[in-house]
Structures are given as structure tokens and as C-alpha cells.
Amino acid sequence: MVTRAGIVVTGTEVLTGRVSDRNGPWLAEQLRRLGVDVGHVVVVGDRLDDLRAALDFLAGTGVALVITSGGLGPTADDLTAEVVGDWQGRPLSVDPALEQRITAVVERLAARRGWRVDPDATAAGVRKQARVPDGATVLEPVGTAPGLVVPPAEGRSGPTVLVLPGPPSELQGMWDDAVAAEATARALSGRSELRQQTVRLWGTLEAQLAATLREHEDELAGLEITTCLREGELEIVTRFAPDAQPAYDRLGAVLAEEYADTLFSTGPTLDDLVAGAFADRGLTVATAESCTGGLLAARLTERPGSSAWVLGGVTAYANSAKQQLLDVPASVLAEHGAVSPEVATALAEGARARFGADIGVGITGIAGPGGGTADKPVGTVHLCVAGPDGSELRALRLPGSRSAVRERSVTRAMHLLRATLLGGPPA
């Protein structure tokens, strides 16, 4: 029997897309590691009835735990603690000691930034944040909002509700306390292990894989296989209970055999592989970017410890910058244009030379929406990875919006780095 949880992400700013939700996916992954399965994440605006409807819905799916994020601030649109307390049959009252601790946090915050704070005005908001459902466990605030663990009132049934704040750093900062709380442990007491394995292919059509999976359907009972295609990478994620391990081993063998020429990972992501290759081989890298404007450098440096292999990069939008900072010859720019294989090569070589790196990556292209011509339409991108043993060039014609072309260019550059450093399916 699988233990299930549901997630409610509150906030009109999330529902309307002004802020993208990072809590739902983060919570789902934490729960999976605990052996808890998530069936639904419901995003709901700051409205009483809509929030209640979401709680009713998840309770109806039989979950043992509901986790909410957001709606714990001092303004009137922050409703979550009140709604959850009421929904669990636990009336709220102010916790005076908590109220004092929140007041101290607010005053410190304002003082640090030199902002106006008017204690009479802020007191009502702070008092609201210190209201706790009867019998709930308080999770100490990381920002100003406390979290809550709210089990159903005595004599009632239904899920326990974990109430967490919206800002991801606050939510993540109180997660360990939330899991350790006795009421949470009780709600999740029946959980068992839930395994997950991933295989990644580069250069296989989804319809081709579908045929393979159909052919072997009978051998794969007990596996929940989901496939996802993005930017040319076909990701196959399988979840299963421990007793289905032999079926998974069979699937792994089938994929390894039938897709030997496109399988590039049995776990690590593209970014893991590239970072690992630099670290293991003691190589350094520098970038020279035009249309991607620093996105490749930002992606490479996202990883902790990347300063050991990333020396830096240049974003050279202007031609003068390409010449002066990366030594792209004016004659090459004049003869071939800034978007050309010749300039991609000169950028990669320039980055190598200027930063003294083992590997240089050059990207030049037309991300749009303007700047395209009949010869070089929007989406034309040239990539070059240059190293001590020569260079690899790719000429791409990418579909999509400005931001899609930029992101795809960076992903293709990462694959070209992977193939150059590690072999495997050609990028």
C-alpha cells in the first residue's frame, strides 16, 4: 500500500504566472525520497472558497498528508492558517510568545535595510501571523512566518496538513523540522520504499521508443514508466516498488541493447555529466557567447564548486567586443558576418586563448525576433567547441521564440561539450 500526499500551492501571484512555483516540485521530490507518492499539486489563488475546495479534493483522493505553501503573510489575502485551522476543526488563537518573536524579526529586518517601521501599524499584521490552530505544532519562522503541523481535531479523520510559507528559502529551511514533527511522522507511518531510475537517450524518436516498450509490455509489469522529450533529449523515468526490481533490470537491459547508439546516461543529467567530466579530467573551460548573452556561463557556474573548472566567459554582443575582447579578426566578421561558422570558431579560440582554458565554447546566432534575413533566418545558430585536439562545429536552425532559441542553443552546446569530453551519441 503506497502512502500518498497532496500539495496545495497558494498565491494569486503563482496562479497567474507572475511568480513561477518552485515549491510544488521541490516538495514532490522530498516526499518521493521519503517513499511518499504525490498524485496532484493544486495551485490556487488567495481565495477562501477555492482553497477549501482544493483541500476537500485532495482529502477525497485519500491522501495521508496535505502540504500547503504560501498564504502566511500579514496581509488580508493571506488566508492559509485560518482556513486550514477551520477545516481541521481547530480554532485559532494568538500565541503571545510567538508574537514577540515575530515582532523582533520584523524589527531586525527593517533595521538592517534602513526601512521605515511603525510598530503600531505592523502589530496587527504580526498578531495575525502569530495565530495558531489549537493543538497544532509550530515550526519556528525562518523569515517572519511560522509553519504549522495541523492534524485533524480529536475524533475526526482525514489528512494531517503541513502549513509552510511561500518563499522557497523559508519553506526549505523548515522542512526538516516539519518532517520530524510527531504529527507528520504519524501521518506517514505506513510508507515504504519507492524506487526511481532514469535513462536518457539523445537521438531517438519518442515513437520509436513507444514501439519498443509495447513489444516488451509483458515483461515490465509493476513499472510506472514515463517518458519526456525535451530539446531532443528523451528522458525515461521509471518508478517501482522494491519487488519490481527484476522487471526494472529487464527494462534497463532492453534499453541498453536496443539504444546502444543513443543512450548517454543511466542517471546523471546532462549538466552532471559535463561537470563531472571537467572535474575528473582536470580540464578548464571558458565561453564566448553572442546570442545566448551569458546563459551558458550562468548554466555552467550554477553548480557548486564550478570555479574549479570554469575560468569565465565573455558575452560579446557588439562586434567591437568580439574583436577587442576575443580577438575575432575584423576581416572574418566582414567577410562571413557575425553569425557564421568562422566567427563561432574564432569566438571559441578567443575564449580559450584569453582565459588560458583547455576548452573554449563559441556561440553566435540570431535569437530574434528581429535580425533575421533570407539567408540567415531567426534561429540560425553556430556552435563551436575548441580544445587542444581541434574543434567541433555545429550549424543549427532552431525553432521557437527568442527565449526558446537561446535556451536550445545552450542545451545543444552542453551536448556538444558532453560528446567532445565523453564520447557517446554525437551531438
Subset of 173-192 contacting its own copies (CB under 8 A): none
Of 40, 101, 195, 336, the residue at the interface with its own copies (CB under 8 A) is: 40
Considering only the stretches 107-115, 178-186, 243-251, 412-420, report the one whose residues sit in contact with its own copies under the rule CB under 8 A. 107-115
Considering only the stretches 13-21, 89-97, 180-188, 275-283, report the one whose residues sit in contact with its own copies under the rule CB under 8 A. 13-21
Q: Are 164 and 147 in contact (CB under 8 A)?
A: yes
CB of 301 to its own copies, least distance (A): 3
Please provide the distance, in angstroms rounded to a whole number, between the alpha carbons at the two ends of the chain: 43
Considering only the stretches 117-125, 133-141, 247-255, 273-281, report the one whose residues sit in contact with its own copies under the rule CB under 8 A. 117-125
Determine the 3-state secondary structure of 192 from DSSP. Answer: coil
CB of 277 to its own copies, least distance (A): 18
Q: Is 67 in the site for its own copies (CB under 8 A)?
A: no
Task: Using the structure block, give the residue that is written with the C-alpha cell 495551485.
Answer: 43
Measured in degrees and rounded to the nearest 5, phi and psi for residue 201 equal -115, 150
The three grid cell numbers given for residue 175, joined into one nine-digit string: 522542512
Q: Are strands 285-289 and 359-365 parallel, antiparallel or unpaired?
A: parallel
Long-range contacts of 279-282 (CB under 8 A, 24+ apart): 279/305, 279/308, 279/309, 281/421
Q: Is 402 in the site for its own copies (CB under 8 A)?
A: yes
Measured distance CA(195)–CA(240) in Å, rounded = 5
Q: Are 109 and 144 in contact (CB under 8 A)?
A: yes
Query: Where are any strands of DSSP class E within 81-176?
Result: 92-94, 131-133, 137-139, 147-150, 160-164
Using the minimum distance from each CB to its own copies, give the nearer residue, 114 or 423. Answer: 114
Q: Is 227 in the site for its own copies (CB under 8 A)?
A: yes
Q: Is 35 in the site for its own copies (CB under 8 A)?
A: no
Q: Is 25 in the site for its own copies (CB under 8 A)?
A: yes
Of 1, 155, 260, 370, the residue at the interface with its own copies (CB under 8 A) is: 370
Q: For 136, which DSSP code?
A: P
Of 91, 104, 266, 317, the residue at the interface with its own copies (CB under 8 A) is: 317
Q: Is 208 in the site for its own copies (CB under 8 A)?
A: yes
Q: Is 226 in the site for its own copies (CB under 8 A)?
A: yes
CB of 276 to its own copies, least distance (A): 17
Q: Is 296 in the site for its own copies (CB under 8 A)?
A: yes
Of 113, 157, 221, 389, the residue at the interface with its own copies (CB under 8 A) is: 113
Of 106, 139, 188, 344, the residue at the interface with its own copies (CB under 8 A) is: 106
Determine the 3-state secondary structure of 229 from DSSP. Answer: strand
Considering only the stretches 83-91, 102-110, 148-156, 272-280, report the one whose residues sit in contact with its own copies under the rule CB under 8 A. 102-110
Number of residues that bind its own copies (CB under 8 A): 125
Determine the 3-state secondary structure of 230 from DSSP. Answer: strand
Q: Are 324 and 250 in contact (CB under 8 A)?
A: no
